[in-house]
Amino acid sequence: MQLTLFSDYSLRILLYLTMHRGRRVALPEISTAYGISQNHLVKVVQRLIEQGWVESVRGRGGGLSLAREPADINVANVVRMTEPHMNLVECFDSKTNTCPIDLACGLKKVLLRAREAFLKELEQHTLADFEPRAPALIKLWRNELAAAEAT
């Protein structure tokens, strides 16, 4: 199973904002810290704002910040929002399923249970669970930001 880049970037942005809760963060900073094009992040940020997880303030002193407490942002909810179908295989979507063995193979049920187990694990975690990692993460991001400034 592989999450889309949209999900990956959503989680990364939320983690970054969690670790920098004392201030507003400019999108270019997040872009540089992760080495991801700012253009790729804009659509993701817009979706996070629509969901009420991130707030944006324009102008001088503006930037992005969490709109909720980290404990109120569940990782499974983020993944569900960013992976609306989570169709691991073609037969999960009855509208587009053309698999000739769908009715007899039995694999679909196993994969459905695996997907549910994956989401059940994610449901047990919020962004607050990752706050203790802040010092190590911030150190890594600072290294990335310094390296970008040096080039």
Inter-helix orientation angle 134-150/5-19, to 10° = 110
pLDDT of amino acid 87: 80
- Looking at the structure of the chain, the number of domains it has is 1
The answer to whether position 98 is within a domain reads: no
The answer to whether position 89 is within a domain reads: no
pLDDT along the chain (151 residues), means of 10: 92 97 95 95 97 95 96 97 84 83 84 92 97 90 86 78
Range of the domain at 43: 5-84+126-150
CATH at 57: 1.10.10.10
pLDDT of amino acid 71: 98
Does this model's pTM top 0.85? My answer is yes
pLDDT of amino acid 100: 84
The answer to whether position 144 is within a domain reads: yes
Residues 71, 128 contacting (CB under 8 angstroms): yes
